[in-house]
Chains A and B, each alone.
Chain A
Amino acid sequence: MTKIACHPSDEMLASYAAGEIDGGLAVMISAHLEFCPHCRAKLAKYEEQYATQAFVSAAPDNHGDVNLDDMLEQIMANDSIPEKSVESLLNAPADTHIEVASQQFTLPQILQGQQQKIGPWSRLPGKIQRAKVSSASSSKMNLIYMDESSALPEHTHQGNEITLVLAGSFSDEAGTYHPGDFVIQDSQHRHSPRTEAGKDCLCLTLLDAPLHFTSGFASLLNPFSQLFFR
């Protein structure tokens, strides 16, 4: 497997560890962690730090009007429920794959069993397809499928765009990206993503502003970017 070259920043990992991060970004990072032992190790360090703060150093809350004894009893009463049905309450049976372009792709664990939150595939110009993913976030999350030999026109970003490669590979002016790569773009960057002949690509993207196309006819796409990438 190709070595992962692009990772979330330390700041992102720390905020993720603390649980204090935008829900959309949390999904992106969780999916990256599945690919990346390097970031998993970093995350464990941060978690240790926060766990110590929360569970070792901190004094327990005075319960206020919350009755924890009742809660304890309710939970223990769960033992009478066959374990299987409780399991199924906790984890709905997960659909692990998604189909696009007549192919099955394995979803990141965090999106497995969440198919109802993944919108229908719609076509973009240039042999690209997109499915909206609902996430607890003010940002827009999408699955983007680029068929072989496809291209998006050059564009900049009005905000940040994060692209996580799930399968296959794509390239832009700065390089080629492989599964697990967590590519962060901001308004400084201009790029035109494309795939090579015989190589398609499935990505998960998070946008906090619509794409802004910069060149020629492609600027015609600007009103479309509102549609496609929201």
Chain B
Amino acid sequence: MSEDKDVLAELLFNIAENRCRDSYQTLFKEIAPRVLSMARKQLFDESLAYEMVQETMLKLWLKAHLYDASKGAAVNWIFSVARNVKFDLLRRSKHQQDWIQGDDLWPILSEDRDINDNAPEDREIISQQLQYQIEQLPIEQADIVRRVYLHGESQQEVADKLELPLGTVKSRLRLGLKKMKEALDD
């Protein structure tokens, strides 16, 4: 269909203006199998590939009037419609996973951090806000937050110095940071 570009545009025009069923059938037979090839190459799920063809072809039937011949060949527009349908399908199918919450909020706390790059100058408005929030914490939590984050002691060092189990240090740190986070969100 190398010189068919104008033909496709004409079909789209007939569909938009006259709801021309014959034009749509011709367009469908030209395009749908090729969208299917494209979909199968890009999506590994056969039912998703089918959906991509169906939605693309439905849009061509319902939205042919949106094709603007002054902006390029019909085949390019049809391609971009198919491509955008694919983006939408992927957004929809994956969006459930994007609201992961909970336990993985604190991965960094499970490992000892190195604070070798502590610069002497504390700055930013932030410092004051955080200082204030540390002061609001229960004293044993505040102590551990200060030691770990201000003085750069490792959690193990803190545990040794305070003669506490490492797990207690970790959980106090965790609680302290959680409270600070809640205060910030208020």
Known A47-B80, A122-B185: A151·B36 in contact at CB below 8 Å: no
Nearest B-chain residue to A66, judged by Cβ? B50
Chain B residues whose CB sits within 8 angstroms of the CB of A54 once the complex forms: 34-35, 37-38, 79, 82
Nearest A-chain residue to B117, judged by Cβ? A214
B109 engages A223 (CB within 8 Å): yes
Contact of A75 among B36, B58, B105, B119 (CB under 8 A): B58
A61 engages B40 (CB within 8 Å): yes
A226 engages B106 (CB within 8 Å): yes
B17 within 8 A of A: no
Contact with B along A143-179 (1 / 0, CB 8 A): 0000000110100000000000000000000000000
- Bound CA–CA A20/B43 (angstroms): 10
B79 engages A216 (CB within 8 Å): no
Interface of A (DSSP majority class):
helix
**What is the count of residue pairs linking A and B with beta-carbon distances less than 8 angstroms?**
193
B124 engages A217 (CB within 8 Å): yes
Contact with A along B21-36 (1 / 0, CB 8 A): 1001100100111111
Interface residues of A in 16-50 (CB under 8 A from B): 17-20, 23, 26, 44, 47-48, 50
CB distance from B138 to the nearest CB of A (A): 18
Interface residues on B, range: 35 or more
B127 engages A217 (CB within 8 Å): yes
Interface size on A, residues (CB 8 A): 62
B75 engages A55 (CB within 8 Å): yes
> Which one of A123-131, A180-188, A195-203 contacts B?
A123-131
A136 engages B98 (CB within 8 Å): yes
Chain B residues whose CB sits within 8 angstroms of the CB of A230 once the complex forms: 105
Known A56-B75, A58-B34, A78-B58: A151·B95 in contact at CB below 8 Å: no
Known A122-B185, A135-B91: A127·B125 in contact at CB below 8 Å: yes
A51 engages B76 (CB within 8 Å): yes
A217 engages B62 (CB within 8 Å): no
Chain A residues whose CB sits within 8 angstroms of the CB of B19 once the complex forms: 79
B124 engages A151 (CB within 8 Å): yes
Interface of B (DSSP majority class):
helix
B76 engages A72 (CB within 8 Å): no
- Bound CA–CA A175/B92 (angstroms): 37
B90 engages A63 (CB within 8 Å): no
B12 within 8 A of A: no
Nearest A-chain residue to B5, judged by Cβ? A56
Chain B residues whose CB sits within 8 angstroms of the CB of A68 once the complex forms: 28, 32-33, 36, 53
Contact of B90 among A44, A86, A136, A227 (CB under 8 A): A136
A100 within 8 A of B: no
Chain B residues whose CB sits within 8 angstroms of the CB of A59 once the complex forms: 37
Chain A residues whose CB sits within 8 angstroms of the CB of B185 once the complex forms: 122-123
B61 engages A78 (CB within 8 Å): yes
CB distance from A156 to the nearest CB of B (A): 10
Contact of A226 among B93, B107, B121 (CB under 8 A): B107
Known A153-B126, A217-B127: A20·B42 in contact at CB below 8 Å: yes
Other A-B contacts than A19-B82, A122-B185, 15 sampled, CB-CB below 8 A, are A17-B83, A44-B71, A44-B76, A47-B76, A54-B37, A61-B33, A71-B32, A75-B28, A75-B54, A79-B21, A125-B124, A126-B124, A215-B117, A218-B123, A222-B113
Top 3 closest pairs, chain A to chain B, by CB: A60-B33, A51-B79, A136-B94
A-B contact pairs, 17 of them (CB 8 A): A44-B71, A51-B80, A55-B75, A60-B34, A63-B36, A66-B50, A75-B57, A90-B62, A136-B90, A136-B92, A137-B94, A150-B125, A153-B124, A214-B117, A215-B123, A217-B127, A218-B124
